[in-house]
Structure 1
Amino acid sequence: MLRFALHDAVGYVRSNVRDFSLNALRLLPQLPQLSPYDVNIALKENEFVYNFPLDGIIRSYETNQLGSNSPCEDSRTEASLMFRNGFICGVFDGHAGAACGQVVSKRLLRYISAGTLPRQVLKQQLKQGCDSQSFLKCHNDKVDFVSEIRPIYERSFQQYIKRLAEVPQRDVASELEHAFLQLDEDLAQEALDNNDARTMGVALSGAVACLVHLEGLQLHVASTGDCGAVLGVLDPQTNQWHPKKLNIEHNVENMQEVSRILGEHPREERETVIRNGRLLSQLAPLRAFGDYRYKWPVETLQQKVVPMFGEQVLPPNYYTPPYLTARPDVQQHELCANDKFLVIASDGLWDFLTPSEVVSLVGEHINSKKTMEPMRLPPGNVTLQQISERLAERKAGLTRKPIDQNAATHLIRHALGATDYGIEHSKISYYLSLPQDVVRLYRDDITITVIYFNSEFIARLKGETLPKPPQTTQPPAA
């Protein structure tokens, strides 16, 4: 149970991380200076890029992950939907251990891919003996569940899809919400039924999630907890990048969420339900998968959990559970040609950068990457004016030529190394050199996925004419 204690103790320490300065670095003990080569190796270790066929809504996506915890408690999954043209991906931030985040990152996409499938197709697949991996094609999935646990999860999935086949189709937002809640219930039931330390460990650790579901032009973002999603929109009239937030974080800064939780418990608990910026003085996110020590009745904790993990698993002032839910907020957005990319990331990124800064950095990265490619002129007759405009674009891009091809790595580098004077190598080196027993106090795990949309294809689908590409782009408007 040391994991629970550590999680409860360190979260608040990073609250002022954005004010971290080089002067502060000099006051701390000296650490070995990493070379630029070593820094690049560390930052690029978990990069992944996937390019889609040219004729589709998505051009490509780029993702990366930099751990702080050991093992890293963040997870990520990306997949194409089978039996229809669609894409689904998610970023998952675990706490009190990596178990819940790792399990949810794999299973949630499977639940949703089945839940959003037309019921007639689902029934056909059931007759053909489908399994949990029949409904999606993962692009960056390197591991599977251990053999002892896999049948337990498969049995829960089969029960889930059989129930789905018997109820009418719901809209996508409702199916997303249902999948979140059903998976969370399954985590609990599996832990209680199997009396196994592994399934119980998944139920007692926790994870927040930000999940993207895209079919046609309809983009849905389902979010539980404090990960974030922001859309990068380019205004063709002003050439400015604008961020559009597509989720709401569930934490104490969200007063509507605080009011919801307080309203679900007696007035005499108002001083204890949320204290020191945390649920029951312990948990920072106010919605999450797992974390059943904040959901189960006291009797269940006493009978099933205390014998396995001890009395310290019981939270203080625990009178009227459940205090926590995995229910997501779901936002829907119809893509247009001005929507250029979507960034989803764990809070390790948002501790350092605002949504406006993230959109600005990725927008500049898009333009700068063009300078790394051979110059291509448009087909047909080309005027000197068109050539001059292309050359001006490339000249402007050269001044901001990025170190990293991968936009997720580009964001991590700026998160750790940005100063008023540009990227400071010594600052990145310091963050990467911190000992394992203190690094969590200065930076969290960072996981980022950047999805690039095909503006030309979107414009054709909507019967629109794509605006002329801007020569230069400006930072997001205030």
Structure 2
Amino acid sequence: MVLRGSKILVNNKYVNAKFIGNYLKCHYNGTYASLPKITPREATEILRSNEFTKEFDSSNSIKYYDFNQLAANNPIEDARSEARCKLTNGLLFGVFDGHAGNECAKAISNRLFYYLAASFLPPTALDKILSSGDSSKELKNNLLDLYNGKIDFDSTIEKIYDESFMSFVKELSNKSSTYSSESDFQMDVAIENAFSSLDNDITNEALATLQKPDAAKTLGVAMSGAVAIVAHIDGPHLHVAGTGDCQAVLGVHTESDGWSAKMMNIVHTIDNRDEIKRILSEHPPKENKTVISFGRLLGQLAPFRAFGDVRYKWSEEMLKKVVVPHYGRVIAPYYRTPPYLTAKPDVIYHRLTPKDKFLIIASDGLWDEMSPLEAVRLVGEHMSGKVTLSPVKLPRKHMKLSEINEILLQRKEGLKKKPLDENAATHLLRNALGGREYGIDHAKLARSLSHPCGNARYFRDDITITVIYMDSEFLRHCPT
């Protein structure tokens, strides 16, 4: 441990003194001697505490999905949403990773799906909604069926959000009236517009409430930031929209090649050369050495696209007037030609086939610990082994002995891969924190789980995982 004045060196970075107490709690002379000992049973209880599974009927291309989440920050800065679009045929899944606080991630996890669901409606449906005179709350209830608990904001903030949403719907209706036909609709354009519109609303809400009691709340959302990954699945049609560094990967299986991983989004970080070129092209050549430095935007922000983070979007004059009085010195060095940041997503389309078995969407806390291919193989093995967790059930009556024998042989093979967890997201969590080449190392897993929220952030990130399973039979019979 190295101290310098009021700061402490952690992972080659000097951290403010307010973290020193927490840091010392989980370190003693460079060892983990002060950490509590965790038994395998206690580790399992911790890993399973947030797991969730939702099943669907056979009328959809999705059979079910598994979810889990493990905090490192206190409070956790990740968020998630899953929902069904009531007025169109589609399911939405999202993972949101916040930074500089959890305010922005919480806000977009509870707002973005409504913007998306409204964006998918044809002009006639938008006109009907507006002419009905429904309140924003009634409209939202008609748009989405949420599968996870909605976060309740206080009444004043909820009113601000409702007003912004109704304005967005009216704007959508006005744009839709210019369509020559409903065939002009483009899914990627609609998704991009929903992302950007919500981000603009977050900015405008912060400015509109500057002199009001709730200014700190709206400005807090705008000042914190969040990246997002959202999947929309409608029958065989999969669209994935990504802003930032969360990732989505499709697990693909064929008899000849086994498991493979198909990346379903573009990551906006220093590893993306096209993204670097885009950012440099948007600013004068004299900023080439400063707009991206130390692998970060303006030397500070790791993701190159995000919601919120107005400190990289507003003019310097605006920051001095609005932000500095509340947050102090927040203007980045060499801040000359904003905006430097956008929430616009890249959208990728893929038509699902029977060989596409599942989709994993997760925050970068998972991808820091394993590669997409490793994750796909783990979930693939979990699928094979999971059948051994329940008694044998014959799929139909009057089967031949040879057919029954084939089922038993497959089950025998699956026993070799029998997982500890029924939930695939939990299975990924366990392997991310305790996995070795030979299996799960309990000592490694226990050491990771021993760090309390807040302290754990020095060793890993928040991890949020959703695994969505496709119905191969449904996709096999979809018309081409």
* TM-score, normalised by the number of residues in structure 2: 0.89
Q: 2: distance between equivalents of 1:65 and 1:258?
A: 31
Cα deviations across residues 49-97 of structure 1 (Å, max 9, x unaligned)?
Answer: 1111122211111101000000000000000111232100100000000
Q: Find 2:407's aligned residue among 390, 393, 410.
A: 390
RMSD over aligned CA atoms reads 1.8
Q: CA deviation at 1:217?
A: 1.4
Q: Would you say the 8 A contact 1:78–1:139 is kept in 2?
A: yes
| Higher deviation after alignment, 245-254 or 382-391 | 382-391
Which residue does the alignment assign to 2:470?
A: 453
Matched, 1:261 2:265: no
Q: 2: distance between equivalents of 1:313 and 1:26?
A: 35
Change (3 A) 1:34 1:256: same
Which residue does the alignment assign to 2:251?
A: 232
Q: Find 2:373's aligned residue among 335, 340, 356.
A: 356
Q: 2: distance between equivalents of 1:297 and 1:254?
A: 26
Q: CA deviation at 1:373?
A: 2.4
Partner amino acid, structure 2, of 1:134: N
Where structure 1 has 5 or more consecutive residues not aligned to the other structure, the ranges are 1-8, 14-24, 464-478
Which residue does the alignment assign to 2:72?
A: 68
Q: Find 1:78's aligned residue among 77, 82, 104.
A: 82
| Higher deviation after alignment, 190-199 or 34-43 | 34-43
- Partner SS state of residue 259, structure 2: strand
Which residue does the alignment assign to 1:17?
A: none
Alignment of 1:287-366 (within 5 A): 287-310=305-328, 312-366=329-383
Q: Would you say the 8 A contact 1:11–1:284 is kept in 2?
A: no
Q: 2: distance between equivalents of 1:147 and 1:107?
A: 15
Change (3 A) 1:26 1:407: farther
Which residue does the alignment assign to 1:217?
A: 236
Q: Would you say the 8 A contact 2:246–2:363 is kept in 1?
A: yes
Partner amino acid, structure 2, of 1:442: F
Q: Find 1:273's aligned residue among 291, 311, 332.
A: 291
Q: CA deviation at 1:220?
A: 0.2
Identity %: 48
Partner amino acid, structure 2, of 1:115: S
Cα deviations across residues 322-362 of structure 1 (Å, max 9, x unaligned)?
Answer: 00000100000011111111000000000011010000000
Which residue does the alignment assign to 1:28?
A: 31
Q: CA deviation at 1:26?
A: 12
Q: 2: distance between equivalents of 1:76 and 1:373?
A: 29
Q: 2: distance between equivalents of 1:264 and 1:357?
A: 36
* TM-score, normalised by the number of residues in structure 1: 0.89
Q: 2: distance between equivalents of 1:232 and 1:98?
A: 30
- Partner SS state of residue 65, structure 1: strand
Q: 1: distance between equivalents of 2:12 and 2:225?
A: 18
Q: Would you say the 8 A contact 1:236–1:338 is kept in 2?
A: no
Which residue does the alignment assign to 1:5?
A: none
Matched, 1:135 2:153: no
Q: 1: distance between equivalents of 2:388 and 2:108?
A: 40
Matched, 1:201 2:204: no
Which residue does the alignment assign to 2:168?
A: 160
Cα deviations across residues 88-129 of structure 1 (Å, max 9, x unaligned)?
Answer: 010000000000000011111110011012221122122221
Q: CA deviation at 1:12?
A: 7.8
Matched, 1:173 2:192: no
How many residue pairs align between the two structures? 442
Q: 1: distance between equivalents of 2:337 and 2:151?
A: 39
Q: 2: distance between equivalents of 1:370 and 1:91?
A: 28
Q: CA deviation at 1:380?
A: 4.9
Q: Would you say the 8 A contact 1:187–1:202 is kept in 2?
A: yes
Q: CA deviation at 1:216?
A: 2.4
- Partner SS state of residue 221, structure 1: strand
Q: Would you say the 8 A contact 1:131–1:154 is kept in 2?
A: no
Q: CA deviation at 1:381?
A: 4.0
- Partner SS state of residue 167, structure 1: helix
Change (3 A) 1:257 1:11: farther
Q: 2: distance between equivalents of 1:179 and 1:395?
A: 49
Change (3 A) 1:150 1:263: same
Q: 1: distance between equivalents of 2:250 and 2:102?
A: 28
Partner amino acid, structure 2, of 1:199: T
Matched, 1:113 2:121: no
Which residue does the alignment assign to 1:251?
A: 269
Where structure 2 has 5 or more consecutive residues not aligned to the other structure, the ranges are 1-8, 14-27, 177-181
- Partner SS state of residue 84, structure 2: strand
Q: 2: distance between equivalents of 1:378 and 1:435?
A: 46
| Higher deviation after alignment, 281-290 or 53-62 | 53-62
Q: 2: distance between equivalents of 1:91 and 1:378?
A: 35
